[in-house]
Amino acid sequence: MKTIGIIPNLLKDTELEITKHVVDWLIGEGYKTYGSSHIADQVKGLSPCESEEELYINSDILIAIGGDGTILAAAEKASLADVPIIGINLGRLGFLADIEPQDITASLHKLLQENYRIEERMMLRAKIITPGGKEYIFNALNDINIIRGNVSRLTEFEILVNDELCDIYPADGIIVSTPTGSTAYNLSAGGPIVLPHTKAYILTPICPHTIYSKSIILAEEDVVQIKTCNHDNMNMALNIDGNIKMYLTPNHFIQIDKSPYVTRLIKLSELKFFDILRKKIVERRR
């Protein structure tokens, strides 16, 4: 490990104080740090990258400074570059981010001593083909959501699994979640918690208009197609890991399956999954 990419969230580290501390400490230990050019202009010693692609390619490890959302925003590019990522939690929950602010120096020591493990987390792939034939591919660490717009009319989602009709959900939207994302939007929508290493993914309707409509657990080799059956040609939002990527009509082809890429999360903590679940979610609800 020689170079470390720094990805701060300016909404969390507003004055870049944590970023400056991390960069200064790493440089003092003899490591080179990279960051985007507009961040490097504000942080002494941070080497600028002309493009996001250069940042990911040049880094042996990525440190996301912000929270789970910062990790999610970097996950697809990190997976394509096959570079592992660790997070410093400045957010509310920090289910993915392994380092708490009070533990930064001790955690960086462990990181540089390579006293950690890497967990490879399954990702999902969304393949979208527009009515004009243009193809888009997106990869998600947490979830892929198709959500109706602001119009209050009911939308029906026709779900096919391996080309076989599964069900037609009258609902506000559909969540397709990885095991990693099962504790996020999926859980809020009434979906199940699935352990991160499980070779499966979850399909959960959002506010379904039928009592029997529940989540479906799919094997990792299953392929899902989703058809939106709204009759007024209303656009639907395609949301990848919390970010709207495009809008869909009933004429768009939508396919979701397991991605060929994985997100490599660096884990310093000895806490197991259920320890983290209790600490981050259950105990905070009391």
Q: What is the pLDDT of residues 21-38, one digit of tens each?
A: 999 999 999 999 999 999
Mean pLDDT of the region 199-222: 93
144 and 77 part of one domain: no
68 is catalytic: yes
3-class DSSP state of 278? helix
* Range list of β-strands (E), the chain: 3-8, 32-36, 47-49, 61-66, 85-89, 117-129, 135-140, 143-148, 155-161, 164-171, 173-177, 200-206, 216-219, 224-228, 236-240, 243-248, 253-267
Burial of 240 (0-12, 13-18, 19+ CB in 10 A): buried
CA 146 to chain centre: 15
User: What is the domain count for the chain?
Assistant: 2
What pLDDT, on the 0 to 100 scale, is given for residue 1? 62
- Of 37-41, 89-93, 141-145, 151-155, which gets the smallest average pLDDT? 151-155
At residue 276 the predicted structure's pLDDT band, cuts being 50, 70 and 90, is confident
Ranges of H-type helices in the chain: 17-28, 37-40, 52-58, 68-81, 104-112, 185-188, 273-277
Q: Catalytic residue, from 13, 24, 41, 68: name it.
A: 68
Any idea which residue has 């070779």 for tokens? 199
What pLDDT, on the 0 to 100 scale, is given for residue 282? 62
Checking if the pLDDT of 54 tops 60, the result is yes
13 and 107 part of one domain: yes
234 and 253 part of one domain: yes
* Domain span at 80: 3-116+268-285
Any idea which residue has 């080179």 for tokens? 32
Mean pLDDT of the region 68-95: 93
60 and 150 part of one domain: no
Q: Which tokens go with 59?
A: 């880094």
Mean pLDDT of the region 79-83: 97
- In the chain the first and final C-alpha atoms are separated, in Å, by 41
Mean pLDDT of the region 208-218: 89
We report the CATH number of the domain holding residue 162 as 2.60.200.30
Reported pTM: 0.93
We report the CATH number of the domain holding residue 47 as 3.40.50.10330
Average pLDDT of the chain is 92
What pLDDT, on the 0 to 100 scale, is given for residue 50? 87
Return the bridge partners of 86, or none: 63
Checking if the pLDDT of 285 tops 60, the result is no
At residue 275 the predicted structure's pLDDT band, cuts being 50, 70 and 90, is confident
Residues in the chain: 286
